[in-house]
Amino acid sequence: MKFKILLALIFVNLIQAQKFYFPKTTVTDSLILEKQMPELAQQVIPHLQSVKYKPENTVDLMDNLFRLQMVAQDYKNSLASLSENRDLFADNNMGGYRYIGFELYSLAKMEQKENNASFTNALQKVFNQKYQSLPEKLIPRLELALNGDVRESRKQLKKVLDKQKGKDSIDYRTALALCKNYQNYKTYSGIKPQVMQLLASKDNEKFITETKDLKINGNTLTITIIRKKENTSPLPVILTNNIYAGPIDGFFGKRAATYDYVGVVVNTRGKRNSNDANNPFEHESQDLYEVIDWVSKQPWCNGKVGMIGGSYLGFSQWAAVKKVHPALKTIVPQVAVGIGIDYPAQNNVFMSYMLQWIQYVTNNKFTDEADFTNAVKWDSIFTKWYKSGKSFRSLDKISGKPSKIFQRWLDHPGYDEYWQKMVPYKEDFSKINIPILTTTGYYDDDQIGALYYFKQHHQYNKNADHYLVIGPYNHGGAQSFGFTYVNGNPIDPVARISIDDLAFSWFDYILKGGKKPEILKDKINFHVMNTNTWKHVADLDKMHNSSLKFYLQDTKNTSSVFSKPESHSFTRQTVDLKNRNQKDTYYKVSKKDSIKTTNSVAFESEVLDKDIVMSGNMSGVFNVSVNKKDFDTDTYLYQISPDGKSYLLSTHIVRASYAKDNENRQLLEPNKIEQIPIKNSYVMSRKIEKGSKFLLLVGVNNNPNWQINYGSGKDVSDETIKDAGEPLEIKWYNDSYVEIPVYKD
């Protein structure tokens, strides 16, 4: 009796501490692990749904829930939760593709139990049924969805288990992480070899796939051609230039074939079968002209070529039109990297991420997914560099892998000839007379680059046949689907379009004489968030027809921050760039929401007495006096809604010495009032509800994710903490303003 009471007390104490019994032998004995995991998941589920641990948004809740239910072997309810997760995450655009591996595993387990079948036979049956039920347009995505990294998932599982060595209990967060890693490993180690074989068999029935090595400009490029077997006549080709060699090559090719084109994917130098040097961005403009020439002369091509792709693949299309091949009839650059404009430096400020990306695409002939997605490793590297006070140029050595590419990029802090030769520059845009469709999003990391090309094309070619579609999409969404949730917030139903369908409708329009996509009612087609409407205007400047000037002044001293100040004053900010242990500060929005304000000065607007629609990108000018020759400004504009939630509307970062001219550095004169123009900030179109207010943060970039500009006037990549000198002092004058673009019906 005493023993039972003791066990009960232990159990109560564990629950109160949100810890669960998990014997230490589980870590070393796989049979015990198999037995314990379902029991652990069953205990974790109620806590997931509790007030203390319940995720803030339903998407995360349902995502965690279906995974825990799978581990608990409650496959029926897991499938129901997975279905709800899909509905929440995206409209019907995603079909049954999202998390299909987990669905197949659960269905196979149910089939195995109900019909006393082997798991192999059960998996084959449910795979065939699922394949037949999927919309044809989603078939190309299956390989990406099912190609889980078993080795990496095993590694992650072991990492969590190792933390449990010698322990007989496990806390809630570790238990949740363990269940999710176990589910991932268990699923893909159980299904991957078989389903990949089944999928390959289906693909062989449907497609003709050829892979060739081409000699282009004395270098070897691997090219993959995919056609539908039923299409026997020559067709237009949809070409993608891809540095991310791997399974995604097959996706791009099969996607084009599914839309009744010939899909051609060429890998860049040094990728797949190429033994040439891999220097990202540098050779596309010359190589792609020759690739298009070869493609256009093949018997399966009718002489017409279009290009598609996002991010680096979007950049590639702009490289291809530096000299337009006669066979290239259109391009669809999606979320295109603005090389030298928004990557690897944004407004002339280099980002630490550039090194992570370089290693991602150069560590091997494909992509190093495990290294790239190792957030703990890269956060540690960036933090180590930041704490060391060493020059930004030393970052690659600190990572343990010196990089000539990284160093070469740093040698070009201005937008000089090195970057200019990679893509059209100034008058080059005037010669681009093919139709173009650009897509990007308000939350796209490369929005600034995508819009740079769009603006330059229209500036230098007054007859540019170039359309833009921009909406509430992130970097992935603006090149695939309009998700239902972005950044945890719901997106208006009318914006949940298939970017794939839009792109190939465009190709049908240009290459096959089809109908113009309905959404393209004018050159600029933008979604206004929170109104469930699209707007259509002739140029970017017409996204707004009014504006509000938000002056850098305190509402305690003025009735409105939107009124020009009557007297001249300033807000002083001091930042010690030598301080590597600075305590973070926050603006408290509500009990559940706060905004980091470290190294920033916060300015609040008065509460808005009516709805307004912010539409476009913030601009304006900072009138400042600093005690250094340079610094990097960091600006954030937020909406604080009546219900106490914050929404990031736009950001802007710029090196002050390049703010007026991104090609030529103009150092500041210390302690003299200087003007820093605000250009190339992020575009947003959103209804701001009555009762909201704006929060404007202006300050200094000083964190591990970017170069640190110490203000000595030297090349910033070579500066060290020794160049910091006395603390940076900024006087933000109150006639500085951020201009908020407003659309009025």
Q: What's the CATH number where 550 sits? A: 2.60.120.260
pLDDT of residue 59: 75
Identify the DSSP state of 351.
Answer: B
Length of the chain, in residues: 745
Distance between CA 20 and CA 229 in Å, rounded? 56
List the one residue out of 478, 476, 452 whose CA is nearest residue 466.
452
Residues in the chain with pLDDT < 50?
1-16, 91-92, 95
Last residue of a domain, one of 396, 411, 426: 411
Residues 525 and 560 both lie in one domain: no
> What is the count of structural domains for the chain?
4
Nearest Cα to 706, choosing from 341, 352, 340, 344?
Answer: 352
Would you state the pLDDT for residue 60? 81
Residues 6+ apart with CB under 8 A from 680: 341, 342, 347, 448, 452, 617, 652, 654
Query: For 672-726, what is each residue's pLDDT tens digit?
Result: 999 999 999 999 999 999 999 999 999 999 999 999 999 999 999 999 999 999 9
Please give the full DSSP string across 47-62, using - where no structure is assigned. HHTSTTT--SSHHHHH
- pLDDT score, position 91: 44
**pLDDT tens digit string along 479-494?**
998 887 788 788 999 9
> Is 504 domain-assigned?
yes
Domain boundary among 204, 225, 244: 204
| Residue 633 located in a structural domain | yes
Q: Is residue 12 part of a domain?
A: no
Q: Are residues 136 and 172 in the same domain?
A: yes
Q: Is position 10 within any domain?
A: no
Q: What angle do CA 584, 585, 586 make, to 5 degrees?
A: 125
Same domain for 382 and 457? no
pLDDT of residue 9: 41
Residue-level pLDDT at 592: 82
Q: Is residue 6 part of a domain?
A: no
Q: Is 353 found in the same domain as 275?
A: no
Residues 375 and 464 in one domain: no
Domain match, 587 and 484 both: no
366 and 490: one domain?
no
Q: What is the CATH number of the domain that holds 226?
A: 3.40.50.1820
For 487: left if phi > 0, alpha if psi spans -120 to 50, otherwise beta; the answer is left
Closest-CA residue to 138 (of 281, 282, 259): 259
**In this structure, is residue 330 part of a structural domain?**
yes
Dihedral angle computed from the Cα positions of residues 96, 99, 102 and 103, in that order, rounded to the nearest 10 degrees: -10
Per the rule left: phi > 0, alpha: psi between -120 and 50, beta: everything else, 475 is: alpha
Grouping H, G, I as helix, E, B as strand and the rest as coil, residue 435 is coil
- Does 200 lie in the same domain as 84? yes
C-alpha closest to that of 657 among 636, 628, 681, 680: 628
Residue 211 lies in a domain: no
678 and 561 fall within a common domain: yes
Query: Quick one: DSSP state of residue 42?
Result: H
State whether 114 and 194 are in the same domain: yes
Q: At a CB cut-off of 8 Å and minimum separation 6, what does 690 contact? A: 608, 609, 610, 611, 642
Of 513, 542, 571, the last residue of a domain is 542
Q: Does 2 reside within a domain?
A: no
Q: Do 599 and 460 have their domain in common?
A: no
Same domain, 173 and 287: no
Domain of 286 in residue numbering reads as: 217-343+417-542
